[in-house]
Amino acid sequence: MAKDEKKTEGQKLQEKLSYKRKNYFEEASKEERDAIFSYAEGYKRFLDVSKTEREACEYAVRAAKENGFTEYFFGDKLKKGDKKYFVNRGKSVVLFRVGSKNPEQDGFRIIASHIDAPRIDIKQNPLYEDSGVCFLKTHYYGGIKKYQWTAIPLALHGTVILSDGSKKEIRIGDEENEPVFYINDLLPHLGADQMSKNAGRFIDAEQLNVVVGGLPYPDKETSNKIKLTALKILNEKYGMCEEDFLSSELSAVPAFSARDVGLDRAFIGAYGHDDRVCAYPALTALIEQDSEHTVLAMLVDKEEIGSEGTTGIQCKVYEDLMEEIALALGANYRKVRAASKCLSSDVTAAYDSNFSEVFEKMNAAYVSCGTCMSKFTGARGKSGSNDASAEFVGEIRKIFADEGVVWQTAELGKVDVGGGGTVAKFVAKLNIDTVDLGVPVLSMHAPYELISKADLYSNYKAFLAFLK
């Protein structure tokens, strides 16, 4: 009070009329700060066992079951209070709860995030040896800076369907005692030519070959002895033959685990914050938040390559699910969609003072200033973007204000410098009001990305508020 009385007229007026972004760590009470840090522990555990969309999906199903959710199949009856999960091909999952409000008037409240992340996929005929080393050939997945994926420890994750139709899950390289895999880079001593290239050509895609072995099979009469050793190990461990790679989905992902970063542990470094830093809060908020609304958390696949295919959000299966829910509740699906609201929950670029030239300071997302709303994404004049309406942004703003959510708003970089897209436009197409909301990330799409624990928790709080 005394402090307030000392303020001048102008200072008071400025406070009343001006907008200022807030640092959430600074705003948080002691209790809330503790909550920020303890929530991050669960998130790190989730990251370490969810390096592919299949693993994230499995985690979500496990968490759902543990919290009384049961599996839903098309055509099932639904009633108020039901807690359900719907799995799509083991690669995406939708959790939902049936609320007491009339869905024709209230619609659904939807959070849509993705659980796939950039990585190095293994080709269908990948195995060869050359000059004492056995490699796997690869085809990268999503938008990566290829040179960042060399000379780091990699783990091999994925699924192989054998000739008899049986399925084998492969996961090697995350445990302390397991071997890792590796992509070579050139030594600087011989790198003069390489160093003169621009970074996009620094490592060619066809040079991203993964080292998998070096031990020759002990038989002088055979050729490709190192490859044979690799095949033998795969055969002993998984019953695999070389031909089984044809029906496999294997990926090399960073073998790093999620770690606190900084003396004060404010940040988390990890592989795949994009977009598990939104998927995890979506999952936990949906599990925890009892709501009068009918609410859905969609954890989808294939966002990094355009939301295509049977597991990307453009697939009809998600619409079918919403229609089935509406039908089961005796509601007109078109009315339900028209009344629904969606947070398209994906990460955005955090302002980086080391690369300030690509950001417009007033409209950038700052780490620790809370989860970030992007009214629009896209590139060059908002092209390819869902540009949310002022009315809808106003509605969400009010929800956040009522629940004390610390949040910010931003665009992805300076106008005309670059851009990006999310699943927002595909949901909006269904006549569902949608806006982007997600955590600012440093070094997005790098093998090890950085986020602030405050932003993670703010995202979770925003979802709790939205679903309430």
List of residues contacting Mn ion (CB under 5 A): 274-275, 346
- Which residue's CB atom is positioned nearest to Mn ion? 275
User: Closest CB to Mn ion among 107 and 118?
Assistant: 118
User: Closest CB to Mn ion among 129 and 274?
Assistant: 274
Q: What minimum distance in Å lies between the beta carbon of 335 and Mn ion?
A: 31
Q: What minimum distance in Å lies between the beta carbon of 144 and Mn ion?
A: 10
- What pairs with residue 449 in β-bridges? 270
User: Closest CB to Mn ion among 191 and 306?
Assistant: 306
For every residue of 198-245, DSSP letters joined together read -GGGSS-GGG-PEEEE-PPPS-TT-SSHHHHHHHHHHHHHH---GGGG
Kindly state the helix (H) or strand (E) to which residue 300 belongs, with its residue range: strand 294-300
Q: What minimum distance in Å lies between the beta carbon of 142 and Mn ion?
A: 6
d(CA 336, CA 295): 12
Q: What minimum distance in Å lies between the beta carbon of 369 and Mn ion?
A: 19
User: Closest CB to Mn ion among 324 and 346?
Assistant: 346
d(CA 306, CA 262): 34
User: Closest CB to Mn ion among 53 and 346?
Assistant: 346
User: Closest CB to Mn ion among 106 and 275?
Assistant: 275
User: What letter would DSSP give residue 305?
Assistant: G
- What pairs with residue 133 in β-bridges? 130
User: Closest CB to Mn ion among 109 and 276?
Assistant: 276
User: Closest CB to Mn ion among 106 and 455?
Assistant: 455
User: Closest CB to Mn ion among 82 and 346?
Assistant: 346
Q: What minimum distance in Å lies between the beta carbon of 304 and Mn ion?
A: 5
User: Closest CB to Mn ion among 112 and 317?
Assistant: 112
CA-nearest of 362, 365, 363 to 349 is 365
Q: What minimum distance in Å lies between the beta carbon of 242 and Mn ion?
A: 33
Q: What minimum distance in Å lies between the beta carbon of 120 and Mn ion?
A: 15
Burial 170-193 (b: 16+ CB within 10 A, else e): bbbbbeeeeebbbbebbeeeeeee
Q: What minimum distance in Å lies between the beta carbon of 93 and Mn ion?
A: 17
- What pairs with residue 128 in β-bridges? 135
User: Closest CB to Mn ion among 262 and 306?
Assistant: 306
- Residues 208, 138: contact at Cβ < 8 Å? yes
d(CA 57, CA 423): 18
Structure tokens at 411: 């665009």
| Strand duo 119-130 + 248-254: pairing | antiparallel
Q: What minimum distance in Å lies between the beta carbon of 297 and Mn ion?
A: 16
User: What letter would DSSP give residue 357?
Assistant: G
Q: Count other Cβ atoms within 10 Å, centred on residue 397.
A: 16
d(CA 229, CA 243): 16
| Strand duo 259-261 + 341-344: pairing | unpaired
For every residue of 54-106, DSSP letters joined together read HHHHHHHHHHHHHTT-EE--TT----TT-EEEEEETTTEEEEEE--SS-HHHH
- Residues 376, 416: contact at Cβ < 8 Å? no
Q: What minimum distance in Å lies between the beta carbon of 113 and Mn ion?
A: 8
- Given CA atoms 406, 412, 413, 415 in this order, what sign does their dihedral have? negative
Q: What minimum distance in Å lies between the beta carbon of 203 and Mn ion?
A: 20
Upstream peptide bond of 416 is cis (omega within 30 degrees of 0)? no
d(CA 317, CA 311): 8
